[in-house]
Amino acid sequence: MIKTLLPFVFVVAGCHLCTAHAAEGSSGVYLMGMKGQGAAMAPPPGVLYYQNDSYFYRGSMGSNRTLPTGGSFASGVDANAYVNLSTLVWTSPWQLAGGKVGLSATLPIGRKSLDARVVTEFPRLGGTGGGSRSDALTTYGDPSLGASLSWNTGKLYVQTSVSVNVPIGDYRSDRLANISFNRWGTDVSTALTWLSTETGREISSVAGYTFNGHNSVTDYSTGDETHLEAALTQYFSPAWSASLLGYHYQQVSGDSGSGALLGSFKGRASAIGAGAQYSFKTASRPVSVRVKYFHETSVANRARSNSVFLTVSLPLSSKE
């Protein structure tokens, strides 16, 4: 019925490298909600894709809760962020274990602002502080590099991937509102997608594990994290589709180091959401525009948040 869907679905599947959202600063190197529709599907071999994600975040934490950020401790937090993530994705002509080899790279640039009603500043340096503080910073974050293997049999698609957060972004030790993490982080994940081109129905899920490194400036080691994402999508035509979305995040090992004065500080959050996508062709190239919204529930040791993704994907080259 809708075999012509596939070129557009591959556009959506272009980026599986994620940067930025748990732990120190209540954020981690894996950005929850980035994946979803077409999670296990790889673009055609030999085609270079560009994906641009505009990420809007608003989170808050009551005055009875405290989080570590920028080597300090803050409570009564209201945070806002806009991050633009530019990603290049290339599916190579190479194969490994029967799977297609993919490579990707992402660079985040954006602005983060934070208002805290109580701040204890730089306790490792003897600071005691208190009162209120606001901070805002526009800068670039840590780039991420990724690799993947993708398989397909009939309606089922499978992908395993690894992405590495490279801590060379603009991290400022005297600021609360950093985008960079100043730590290495490695995320490994497996994605499954089942797509029926006859009915236009798709089910996708992603399960992953994040290994976090050490922030030498704050002497803070963030614990390891797990994440699970799911998407149920209905294609109404090759151009239009809508999705029900959700994710769950859980920190499985505690934070440590002399900067972890709040103890293990294990985080947890679940979210529900919805999305819609429109696909079209321009200059004979498929382009997809997608919007997603998430509302977090059941939150522990994190700011409770609402977030929006606006994504544009298109091929920069073709096999011809």
pLDDT of residue 61: 80
Q: How many helices (H) and strands (E) does the chain have?
A: 1, 15
Length of the chain: 320
Residue 151 burial class via C-beta count within 10 angstroms: exposed 0-12, middle 13-18, buried 19 and up: middle
Round to whole Å and give the CA distance between 58 and 43.
32
Structure tokens at 272: 């529900």
Structure tokens at 194: 């089942």
Q: Is residue 113 within 8 Å of residue 247, measured between CB atoms? A: no
pTM above 0.85, yes or no: yes
pLDDT of residue 95: 95
Cα dihedral 15, 16, 19, 23 sign: positive
Round to whole Å and give the CA distance between 111 and 175.
13
Q: Is residue 98 within 8 Å of residue 160, measured between CB atoms? A: no
Residue with tokens 């869907």: 5
Residues of the chain with pLDDT > 90: what percent? 61
Round to whole Å and give the CA distance between 301 and 295.
16
Round to whole Å and give the CA distance between 32 and 233.
18
| All domains of the chain in start order, with CATH | 3-315 (2.40.160.40)
pLDDT of residue 108: 96
The H or E element spanning position 8 is helix 6-12
- In this structure, the number of other CB atoms found within 10 A of the CB of residue 188 comes to 13
pLDDT of residue 20: 34
> What 3-state DSSP class applies to 10?
helix
Q: What's the helix, strand, coil split of the chain in %, to 5?
A: 5, 60, 35
User: Residue 215's closest CA among 54, 70, 22, 62?
Assistant: 70
Strands 304-315 and 285-300: antiparallel
Residues with pLDDT less than 50, the chain: 12-22
